[in-house]
Structure 1
Amino acid sequence: MMNSRVLTVSEPGERLDTWVASSCPEISRAEARRLIEAGLVRVGGRTVRGSRRLAAGDVVEIDAPEPAQTGLQALGLPLVILYEDADVVVVDKPAGVTVHASPGHHDDTLVNVLLAHYPEIGSLSELRPGIVHRLDKDTSGVMMVARNAAAEQELARQIKDREVEKTYLAIVIGRVAPAEGVVEAPLGRHPRDRKRRAIVEGGREARTRYRVLTQGPAAALLEVGLETGRTHQIRVHLAAIGYPVLGDPIYGRRSEAIARQALHSLRLAFRQPQTGELVVVGVEAPEDFRRALDAMGLCVPDSR
């Protein structure tokens, strides 16, 4: 069976294949290209190339095959549930856990654990069922997951339209000045290392807000707000202004104070997909993060 949908473009300038993948969380960019090449994606009723730049108001029709039940295995590990209703579950993701299947990680991901608790999400997509946003493997904290297709589409829309508030805690190296600010710089793949992201001309718009909560002699605790949600955004932006995240092995350096990057998803605010009611969910930083604060001479805030 085919799953057909009609969507309207709100922001101009994005490539069709990129836009389809970002607008439909169950469709990867590679899958979007295949659908476009097969004539299953139309703009204004016509088939076009994936490189076509979209204009505001363009109407995009997408015909995608219904996903088969996922072949991923359920993993019966504990799951800390912060909030749940019929449409959404919000969990406390531990550091060290990959969100969804990737090279080297197929049966030991957060998705595998979710399938054991919420088997119904297995019908949503092949490898990323219910996943509408991600946290890096070594980032801890609040993360939401859709429980049905309608919720998945609505939450993805809220994220795309920047209606979801994402707040993080980050321990960074250095004495931060000014004490609050905004980093606005486009992000894309690093020109020489495809596993890294970098500030690149022509990259995707990215905007990060920060403010100092506690300043120590050689490190600071920041509250960070994401206005966009690009891969590694906080880590790249803070490193770019001279304040790399403590323990970040890619954009900074490893630390004896913590065995991962000191980044924690503190709070999410979103609208319940059916009722529109505001939902705010938060969780305090885990023990390793709090030990790192102490090691760096920083006081521990009330992170709720």
Structure 2
Amino acid sequence: MEYTITLPENQKPISLQELFTEEWLLPKKMRHLLRIQKGVLLDGKVADFQQVVTTGTQITLTLNEADYPYQPLALGDARKVRVLFEDEHLIVVDKPAGIKTHPNESTENNTMANHLAAYLAPKKTRPYVVHRLDTDTSGVLLFAKTPLALSLISRLLEEKQIYRRYQAIVTGNLTHSQTITKKIGRSRHDRRKRVIDENRGQTAITHVEVHHHSLKESQVYCQLETGRTHQIRVHLAAIGHPIVGDVLYNPQIKQAKRLMLHAYQMTLVHPFSKEVIEIVTESGLWN
């Protein structure tokens, strides 16, 4: 697998080692393999990691496919893919509610990853899952198109450098914006569920901004600072305002036709071009 990347106009002079470690955030194992396999070329020659690169430098990276195993995906339906952004490294799609992000069994072919595999097959490219949306959540979903991009984007996600904003419609009159910091852990009684667990749970931070409120329902924006399973759903239920249509965390209420949670916006700095990419869905819960 060979990739050629041209450094952007705003690239300051820097050694390859610093570029890989400090800016691209390449994992130690990947850097080690690139070094011992002589997998980095500058102007067609094997590069020394202390060489300085700058604006316009072309870097060719070769990854051994055996070092980055790929789980084959059954091809789904390419017509179900709605692309919001795509280049040679990344692809962002608008996931409908009711479709899983990826399969759990090799025989499945009706997840977003399967449909994207079908869409990318003519380009001889594969989708790599970066993050997930719950089956019943719609909206912005990011995939990498190479193991190199996957590594970089995953690190950006870990470093909390990808901004994600959701729309939700919740039950009741939520009158003020707030930040929820309740820790989240697994339920002991239902393997599907997560619960507030301040003793053994993981840190979880959700910023909630009220867009509109009324006695019966309120419209809110939620920004994730962490990415725990069911985080927004658990946090909103914990403050007494569960999401409309959430059969798991508020089964007593009259249900809507779907879970009213939508990944509305994503903003990130492209790992190679350094451009700020802002993706906003045309669809939404109230726009």
User: Normalized against structure 2, the TM-score is what?
Assistant: 0.72
Aligned AA (1:95): A
Q: Which residue of 2 aligns with 1:84?
A: 86
| 1:214 partner SS | strand
Q: 1: distance between equivalents of 2:88 and 2:258?
A: 34
Q: 1:66/1:229 Cα in 2 relative to 1: closer, same or farther (>3 Å)?
A: same
How far apart are 1:189 and its partner, in Å? 1.1
Matched position secondary structure for 1:118: helix
Q: Which residue of the partner structure matches residue 120 of structure 2?
A: 118
Contact kept? 1:248, 1:254, Cα under 8 Å: no
Work out the number of aligned pairs and report it.
224
Counterpart residue number, 2:215: 217
Distance, in Å, in 2 between the alignment partners of 1:71 and 1:111 is 8
**Partners of 1:254 and 1:267 in 2: CA distance:** 30
Alpha-carbon distance in 1 for matches of 2:243, 2:275: 34
Structure 2 residue 70 is the aligned partner of structure 1 residue 72: no
Counterparts of 1:105 and 1:222 in 2: how far apart (Å)? 38
For residue 90 of structure 1, report the CA deviation from its aligned partner: 0.9
Query: Partners of 2:202 and 2:104 in 1: how far apart?
Result: 23
Choose 1 or 2 for highest CA Rg.
Answer: 2
Structure 1 pair 117/76, CA: closer, same or farther in 2 (3 Å)? Answer: closer
CA–CA separation in structure 2 for the residues paired with 1:121 and 1:197: 35
Q: Supply the AA of the counterpart residue of 1:133.
A: H
State how far apart, in whole Å, the 2-side matches of 1:257 and 1:249 are.
7
Retained in 2: the 8 A contact 1:171–1:263?
A: yes
Instruction: Tell me the alpha carbon deviations over residues 128-152 of structure 1, each in whole angstroms, 9 at most, x when there is no partner.
Output: x411111111111111111111111
Q: Retained in 2: the 8 A contact 1:173–1:220?
A: yes
In 1, Cα distance between the equivalents of 2:177 and 2:74?
43
Q: 1:89 to 1:215 in 2, by over 3 A?
A: same
Instruction: Show the counterpart of 2:178.
Output: 181
Gaps of 5+ in 1: 1-6, 9-19, 25-63, 123-128, 290-299
CA contact (8 A) 1:272 1:278 kept: yes
- Deviations 1:74-123, CA, capped at 9 Å, x for gaps: 4333311111111111111000111101269711111111011113444x
Decide whether the 8 Å contact of 2:247 with 2:255 is kept in 1. no
Q: What is the root-mean-square deviation of aligned Cα atoms in Å?
A: 2.5
Which structure 2 segments of 5+ residues have no match? 1-19, 22-26, 31-65
SS, match of residue 269 in structure 1: strand
Partners of 1:99 and 1:111 within 8 A in 2: yes
Cα distance in 1 for residues equivalent to 2:257 and 2:245:
7
CA distance in 2, matches of 1:284, 1:135: 18
Partner of 2:170: 172
The residue aligned with 2:241 is 243
Give the Cα separation in 2 of the matches to 1:247 and 1:168: 16
Residue 96, structure 1, aligned to residue 94, structure 2:
no
- After alignment, is 78-87 or 157-166 more displaced? 78-87
What is the rounded CA distance, in whole Å, between the counterparts of 2:107 and 2:254 in structure 1? 26
CA distance in 1, matches of 2:108, 2:67: 23
Closer, same or farther in 2 for the Cα pair 1:218/1:68, shift >3 Å?
closer
Distance 2:255 2:283 in 1: 15
Determine what percentage of the aligned residue pairs are the same residue. 33
Alpha-carbon separation, structure 2, partners of 1:153 and 1:262: 32
In 1, distance between residues paired with 2:162 and 2:153?
A: 8
Change (3 A) 1:191 1:256: closer
Letter in 2 for 1:228: T
Distance in 2 between residues matched to 1:72 and 1:196, nearest whole Å = 28
Question: Do the aligned partners of residues 181 and 272 (structure 1) sit closer, same or farther apart at CA in structure 2, a change above 3 Å counting?
Answer: same
Residues 121 and 133 of structure 1: CA distance in aligned 2, closer, same or farther (over 3 Å): farther
1:267 equivalent in structure 2: 265
Tell me the equivalent position of 1:199. 196
Q: Which runs of 4+ in 1 moved over 4 A?
A: 254-257
